A and B are shown apart, each in its own frame.
Chain A
Amino acid sequence: MKQKFALLTIVGALLALAVPAVSSASMYPAGATFEVGSAGAQPTLGTSIGSCQIKVAGTVPKAPANEATSLLFALTPATSTCSSGASIKFNGEWKLLATNFSFQMAASGGPSNAVEFRSTTLPNCKLAGNYVLGGLFHNGISSPKSMKSAMQPTSSSSLTWADDGGTCAIAGTKETLTYGSGTGIWTVNNLTTPATPIIVAN
């Protein structure tokens, strides 16, 4: 049973790697700056002992780079607000991989801890590591009415608890960040031309 499960895991992992590589994607409008989330519905990353709302901004690559086999470009994350005593720090590079109807936000590179979460409730501990958040990308429309595009996160990778200036009892254990709140839908706001939705196409 264990062997079957391991085999399935490996096959799944290979598929996950292969699918983005063969998919083509393009994002419009080229050169538009966008921000994920809006007031009251911002992306939220959370743990059992606190959560933070974040702001993620980016710019669609200019033509022809916005039409690529694998559309990958930089994002700029920032902390908006956190629950009492919680804080989140971004050290690595954040990138958005847009493929057909899905997206992946990945924080990696740079220092080993691309994302660091801390809470004063549990001093001497930090939840850190590289991070991947994946989900569905829902295209918006501009006619007959304007409806913004949205990201719907459906999976999140785990970070690892580590010592932070002292001994952390659970150092080495992993925890998956929770994401989203309310509807779990994060609107994608076009800051350059607000009435035009940011869309991902084949």
Chain B
Amino acid sequence: MGEIELTRQARRTREYSPFRQAGGIVGAALVLTSVLALAGCGSGDDGTTSTADLTKSPERPSAERTQLAAIQGAAARAKGRKACEGMTPLEVARHYQAAAREAGVTKRFAQLATEPSAKVQSSSGYPRLAAAIYATTTPEKSRAAAAAGCAEVLAADGEGGEVSSERTGQTVPPSQGGADQKGSN
């Protein structure tokens, strides 16, 4: 902006001065000076900014990243809870089987969850296995949180206890939050 203004001034000086040639030289000098000054100021500012950024960078972005990761983790966990809400572990495994296979899960690993032996299905770790199948369909970085959220709600259902409804804030027995809600997914 300053450069443009100074250029205009230089033009005006050239137009109205009786000593046009001299005016032209003065104008050119002014333009040159302003350009150099602006460049100098610019580089000075840049240097200050860079130094400040370098000083701050080890702290601020790291803290921001941690905060962001925590927010993303909580969101993925909530998404996992919602995705598996109202289903049994077996239903979750079967529901997400096709998507998991597309995501690269081997047929055999998927079968461990979708066609579980009695021992596997009765294991307390089965909800986590079903949740892992679901989690493979989510973005890689948030998989662990998504799996944890899903496993949390499946384990709660499996225990036969009451499941907290996030939408209403009320607690509902598993019988009411069971297979009826399958359609929501």
Residues of A within 8 Å of B106, CB to CB, are: 48, 175, 178
**Given the contacts A48-B110, A168-B125, A173-B112, A121 and B147 also touching, CB distance less than 8 Å:** yes
- Asked whether any CB of chain B lies closer than 8 Å to the CB of A49, the reply is yes
Mask: chain A, 105-141; 1 = CB below 8 Å from B; 0 = not: 0000000000000011111110000000000000000
Q: Are B132 and A49 in contact (CB under 8 A)?
A: yes
Interface contacts (Cβ under 8 Å), in number, total 68
- Asked whether any CB of chain A lies closer than 8 Å to the CB of B159, the reply is no
- Asked whether any CB of chain B lies closer than 8 Å to the CB of A144, the reply is no
Main secondary structure of the interface of B (DSSP, over half): helix
Q: Are B123 and A169 in contact (CB under 8 A)?
A: yes
Which residue of chain A has the shortest Cβ distance to B106 in the bound complex? A48
CA distance A124 to B132 in the complex (A): 12
Q: Are A84 and B143 in contact (CB under 8 A)?
A: yes
CA distance A169 to B109 in the complex (A): 12
Main secondary structure of the interface of A (DSSP, over half): loop
**Given the contacts A47-B109, A48-B109, A48-B136, A169 and B144 also touching, CB distance less than 8 Å:** no
Interface residues of chain A, those whose CB is within 8 Å of chain B, are: 47-49, 83-85, 119-125, 166-171, 173, 175, 178
Of the A-B pairs whose beta carbons lie under 8 Å apart in the complex, a sample of 23, sorted by A's number, is A48-B106, A49-B105, A49-B135, A84-B141, A84-B144, A119-B132, A119-B144, A120-B144, A121-B144, A122-B129, A122-B147, A124-B125, A124-B128, A167-B125, A169-B116, A169-B125, A169-B128, A170-B120, A170-B125, A170-B129, A171-B123, A171-B125, A175-B109
